[in-house]
Structure 1
């Protein structure tokens, strides 16, 4: 097996974490799958230390469970954790967009519109993974506009489990066309400097996950638990 190439100028543990996080979120490594430090170290042609550090970060994000002397496993998707994460994310992002209304200007609106155009291009070219990343970029830009990068850093730390449901929902339950319409609603409310409208638009957008998780679980019962 040929080792997967890493960027030599970036921290190895962080790269391994990001790649494994992506693979788990996209269910390329399904819930319940055992993870071996040895196999991952061979995959990337590295020592076990950066792999172990990546595993610890994945465990902190709720994606895997490390069992001493018994190995590590990809966690099943916790319905409770998804709902709690959605609750916290909604509280933060509604505050972000309300603040963004007071700080928005034409240059920042232009940046948002560019992100939306990139999302539309990804949809037109059926580039689901690109759309998924651009969705995050849109929300991260909103935090930047609100002059609160800490808001996005906090969301990043809690949304790994949510992301698995988000990714699974893109195919049928929450298609990108619907999501970009919701993004445009947020954009137009910011354009109008309408605090109530942008708050309502963000609430509708983020409530999507809460409504779709049960539909996703019906088709993937073995991947979920109630805890």
Structure 2
């Protein structure tokens, strides 16, 4: 009996190939600039040019242009064709909008996570708290900020609504800069303790307490703004409300 070529192909065992996405040049430029804006290595009102960034990073202007557009969409850059590009001032109104949106979406997310958390989710959150504790001990603001974001994102994953964090990332740029500006030892300790309290509420399946702790955590931004404006109001645009 003759076996067809197609039959032979069907019985051939083949491994599954896992594709690992690689960051593009534009992604790398975006990440580098975003970190420098958050850390205030590039403070508000600083002028920045595509040509200079491309020269320093050894890339063409096209990926830099793409990164600039993404940063502008998030609210980090002001691109004015006639007068150049500058790091944007921190918008107090944008911070308030982001806080409102985060309270609404993350409040529901935390309540849902109380019902859906698994042992794996609990272990992941616990590990992220340990990363935050290590960052506090080292005084590493950037590491704490990254672990803070990862903690909130993981709650969305546990709740089965990871897309919520994708939406929030597009609204919280100015809020992130407030957080980085205010991340001294004391504020990191307070934020860490609030994360621990939120973790305890979620693993205890207590949605009311989880939402209460989250609201308290996000409302602390009001005091941070007042304190920072007293030190350097030049970083902020005037609030309209």
Q: TM-score by structure 2 length?
A: 0.87
Gaps of 5+ in 2: 1-21
Match of 1:112 among 125, 149, 164: 125
Q: Distance in 1 between matches of 2:35 and 2:161?
A: 25
| 1:195 CA drift (Å) | 1.0
Structure 2 residue 140 is the aligned partner of structure 1 residue 127:
yes
CA–CA distance in 2 between the matches of 1:147 and 1:71?
42
Written as runs of structure 1 = structure 2, the 5 A alignment for 1:184-195 is 184-195=196-207
RMSD of aligned Cα (Å) = 1.2
Q: Measure, in 1, the Cα distance between the counterparts of 2:134 and 2:57.
A: 33
Residue 159 (structure 2) pairs with residue 146 (structure 1): yes
Asked if 1:68 corresponds to 2:77, the answer is: no
Alpha-carbon offset, residue 89 of structure 1: 1.3
Q: How many residues align?
A: 218
1:23-46 CA-to-partner distances (Å, cap 9, x unmatched) read 111111010011111100011111
Q: What are the superposed Cα offsets for residues 135-160 of structure 1, whole Å, 9 maximum, x if unpaired?
A: 11100110100111110101111111
Q: 1:24 aligns with which of 24, 37, 58?
A: 37
| 1:26-74 CA distance string (max 9 Å, x none) | 1110100111111000111111111111111111111111111321111
Contact persistence 1:59–1:66 (CA under 8 A) = yes
Residue 47 of structure 2 is matched in structure 1 by 34
Distance in 2 of aligned mates of 1:177 and 1:169: 12
3-state DSSP of counterpart to 1:30: coil
1:178 aligns with 2:190: yes
Question: What CA deviation, in whole Å up to 9, does each residue of 1:126-183 have, x standing for no partner?
Answer: 22211111111100110100111110101111111110000011126x6211111100
Name the stretch that deviates more: 65-74 or 135-144. 65-74
Name structure 1 gaps, 5 residues minimum. Answer: 1-8
TM-fit CA distance, 1:107: 2.4
What is the distance in 2 between the residues matched to 1:10 and 1:119? 26
Q: Output the CA distance in 2 between the equivalents of 1:77 and 1:93.
A: 23
1:85 matched to which residue of 2? 98
Shift of 1:119: 1.0
Cα distance between partner residues in 2 of 1:217 and 1:198: 30
Aligned to 1:199: 211
Q: Is the 8 A contact 1:86 1:210 kept in 2?
A: no
